[in-house]
């Protein structure tokens, strides 16, 4: 089966600019996640969707980060404005109703 | 609060020798435990999981892990290491299995280096 698709793979922006990441989960997976992985750390959950609805966004910096999942399929994560500390790999994952998570290759963001 | 600890930043082992990557956890209730591997410039790949049942679980690429409830550990093992096993390994815990309860809480990762 096709895996989780993410784009772009790499992005370099200046601080205070905005950026958006896109994720297409595995077909049929109801649950979608965005994780932030800072260099040298484990991934940290930013937001979790169940179909169209948000299940958990407790660690999402809502003053600058936003995410949506249209029609319960694709999702976008946006940062506006970006800060230097947002430099990280942003991982998208999806899971079926009963099963473990499948991860995409991630988007490496560098804020300069 | 649920947490995962991986006490070793790096584990070095010679090819052909057994390897162990340690993981301990702190959760309330019954844990669901996972191991993922991350190769350079690749996403996280699922290795194995413990949901319930037999304490020794077998996963991909010859890896296995032993769940020890009394020691709250879930160490990853392999009888004979390969150079191609060199990667970053993450232990994770989840409050549930599947769907809305399946968010993962990760450890900080352990870099496994297998020398030829």
What is chain B's pLDDT, residue by residue, as a tens digit (116 residues)?
Answer: 789 999 999 999 999 999 999 999 998 778 899 999 999 878 899 999 999 889 999 999 999 999 999 999 999 999 999 999 999 999 999 877 776 777 899 999 999 999 99
Which residues make Cβ contacts (< 8 Å) with residue B30, sequence separation at least 6? Answer: B52
Per the structure block, which two tokens stand in for A55?
A: 């299940």
Supply the pLDDT for residue A52: 85
Supply the pLDDT for residue B96: 76
Per the structure block, which two tokens stand in for B25?
A: 């956890």
Supply the pLDDT for residue A1: 60
CA B48 – CA A106 distance, rounded (Å): 21
CA B16 – CA A67 distance, rounded (Å): 46
Per the structure block, which two tokens stand in for B94?
A: 């989840």
Contacts of B45 in chain A (CB under 8 A): 103
CA atoms within a 13 Å half-sphere pointing along the CA-CB vector of B115: 5
* Interchain proximity A105–B42, CB inside 8 Å: yes
Is it the case that residue A13 has pLDDT exceeding 70?
yes
Higher-confidence position of A103 and B102: A103
Are A74 and A23 contacting, i.e. CB atoms less than 8 angstroms apart? yes
Supply the pLDDT for residue B22: 98
Partners of A7 in beta bridges = A22
CA A55 – CA A32 distance, rounded (Å): 10
* Interchain proximity A100–B49, CB inside 8 Å: yes
The model's pLDDT over A36-45, given as tens digits with 9 standing for 90+, comes to: 999 989 999 9
Select the residue of A42, A48, A56 nearest B106 (Cβ to Cβ): A42
The candidate with the shortest Cα–Cα distance to A108, out of A11, A41, A30, A5, is: A11
Per the structure block, which two tokens stand in for B55?
A: 């304490």
């Amino acid at each position: 089966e096709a895996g989780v698709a993410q784009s772009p793979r790499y992005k370099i922006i200046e601080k205070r600019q905005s950026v958006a990441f896109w994720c297409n989960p595995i077909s049929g997976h109801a649950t979608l996640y965005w994780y932030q992985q800072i260099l040298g750390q484990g991934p940290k959950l930013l937001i979790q969707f169940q179909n169209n609805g948000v299940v958990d966004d407790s660690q999402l910096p809502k003053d600058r980060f936003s995410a949506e999942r249209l029609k319960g399929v694709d999702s976008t994560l946006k940062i506006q404005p970006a800060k230097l500390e947002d430099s990280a790999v942003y991982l998208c994952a999806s899971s079926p109703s009963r099963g473990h998570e499948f991860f995409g290759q991630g988007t490496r963001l560098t804020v300069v | 609060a649920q947490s995962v600890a991986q006490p070793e930043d790096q584990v070095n082992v010679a090819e052909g020798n057994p390897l162990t990557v340690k993981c301990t956890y702190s959760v309330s209730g019954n844990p669901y435990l996972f191991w993922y591997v991350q190769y350079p410039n690749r996403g996280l790949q699922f290795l194995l999981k413990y949901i319930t049942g037999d304490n020794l679980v077998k996963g991909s690429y010859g890896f296995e892990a032993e769940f020890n409830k009394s020691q709250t550990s879930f160490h990853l093992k392999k009888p004979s290491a390969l150079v191609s096993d060199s990667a970053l390994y993450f232990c994770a815990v989840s409050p549930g299995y599947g769907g809305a309860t399946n968010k993962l809480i990760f450890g900080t990762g352990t870099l496994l280096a297998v020398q030829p």
